[in-house]
Amino acid sequence: MRTIKLLLLTPLLVGLLSGCWDTKELNEVAFVTGIAIEQGEDAKFKVTVGVANASQLNSQKSEGNTPSVTFSLEGNSISELLDKMNVGLTRELRYSHTRTLVISEEIAREGTSDFLDYLERSGQFRNDFNILIAQNISAADILKTNFPIQKIPSLKIHNQTSALFEEWGGDPNIRLSDFISALTSKGRHPVVEAVTIVGSPKQGKSVENNKSLEPESLVTLGGVGVFNEDKLIGYLNLEETRAYVWTQDLIQTTLTVPCGEQKYMDIRILNSKSTIHVNYDGEIPNFQVKIVAEALLNGTQCSANLEKIETYKKYEKDIEEMIESIILTTITKVQDEYEVDIFGFGDTMRRQHYNQYQAVKDNWDEEFIKANIDTQANVFLRRAGTSNKSFLTEVE
């Protein structure tokens, strides 16, 4: 009898486990890949969403239409605007695949806390999207600029920033949790990657921009925006951004290092490790940034003999001096021009000298401004590509 009851219950249990009560078919939803936030003309915010037109990504079913659709609304609440987008769009929007959040320069200078709180609190968003500042350009235009290879603009920018971070170190790889962590810390201020458009934004919105060998409009990365708490106060260029990323620990990059008059060598940094030490000399803080790196000689314009150890030692010293100069110059610029600690020296002080930090934490930026900076690089040039010799030695 017991066996019969179990057999009767089994189909009921299978039915309960066979699906979800809130499922939606793919043809009933649309995935938002990018969001742009800027000042509205008649309200506090103007929000633009970029929605993937998935049918145009299938080469067999594509009809030549745009692979991404944008729509904008104005209002005073980001939450309401995102829920209201079906005023113009047909399908239920899903934000879990958002990869790019673009903030206009004007909004960033006024402050970002009013809408970042919603994005962090909402369960609709993941934490793996890029936060970007639209520098000297409309934030919405960033989501509307097509590209031949990656047809959805938001995904193109997401892949672009990741590749720049991995290959050259020019992107700080900032996500929402990183920004909020820096925002709530007394020992660090946030930074955000800056983007702009080279060429005509109007031409970039056309489908023809996708078909051009040389696009008339292109979204490019230009460095980082520097924040004082939640407000944008200025920018670092790409070279300075790489120096900033270098202080944050791991980086792979390529350097062009002088090795003679109008002569240069190409150095690939394969592995790099940075450490920061902070202490006080009387009332003056001392910041010491140490870099240890392994490098590869990619190429050289100089004729020094690469079979001699003295050549490698000289090259290593030249590379070390260049790295030290790049990092010191960037930190000094931030001290003098922006007067905020974006490097996290304050967080390091809290970990290394807690009691001293507690005494100055409320005025940490003042301590940062007057601090002495020391940079030390230790570079190991492991090999010279596939050959220890250079034909330049014989030519000259």
Q: What percent of the chain has pLDDT over 90?
A: 66
Buried b (16+ CB within 10 A) or exposed e, 207-222: eebbeeeebbbbbebb
Lowest mean pLDDT among 12-16, 97-101, 316-320: 12-16
Residue 211: predicted pLDDT: 55
pLDDT at 9 over 70: no
- The average pLDDT across 127-135 equals 93
Residue 60: predicted pLDDT: 46
Residue 158: predicted pLDDT: 92
240-268 per-position pLDDT tens digit:
999 999 999 878 999 999 998 899 999 99
At 209, the pLDDT band (50, 70, 90 cuts) reads low
At 63, the pLDDT band (50, 70, 90 cuts) reads very low
- The average pLDDT across 295-309 equals 89
Residue 203: predicted pLDDT: 55
If 0-12 CB within 10 Å is exposed, 13-18 middle and 19+ buried, where does residue 262 land?
exposed
70-114 per-position pLDDT tens digit:
999 999 999 999 999 999 988 889 999 899 999 999 999 999 998
At 304, the pLDDT band (50, 70, 90 cuts) reads confident
pLDDT at 303 over 90: no
DSSP state of 86: G
Residue 80: predicted pLDDT: 94
Q: Which residue has the higher pLDDT, 391 or 383?
A: 383
Q: Does the predicted TM-score (pTM) go above 0.95? A: no
Q: Which residue has the tokens 């020992």?
A: 187
Q: 238-396 falls under which CATH superfamily?
A: Nutrient germinant receptor protein C, domain 3 (3.30.300.210)
Residue 3: predicted pLDDT: 63
Residue 382: predicted pLDDT: 85
Q: Within the chain, which residue ranges are assigned CATH 3.30.300.210?
A: 238-396
Q: Which residue has the higher pLDDT, 29 or 45?
A: 45
Residue 334: predicted pLDDT: 98
pLDDT at 373 over 90: yes
Runs of H (alpha helix) within the chain: 2-17, 78-83, 105-110, 113-121, 139-144, 153-167, 176-183, 201-204, 238-247, 309-333, 345-352, 354-360, 364-370, 391-395
Q: Which residue has the higher pLDDT, 384 or 43?
A: 43
pLDDT at 394 over 50: no
Residue 233: predicted pLDDT: 98
- The average pLDDT across 217-241 equals 95
Is residue 161 within 8 A of residue 170, CB to CB? The reply is: no
pLDDT at 170 over 60: yes
Q: Which residue has the higher pLDDT, 251 or 224?
A: 224
- The average pLDDT across 168-196 equals 94
Q: What percent of the chain has pLDDT over 70?
A: 83
Please name the helix (run of DSSP H) or strand (run of DSSP E) that holds residue 270, with its range, or none: strand 263-281
- The average pLDDT across 213-218 equals 72
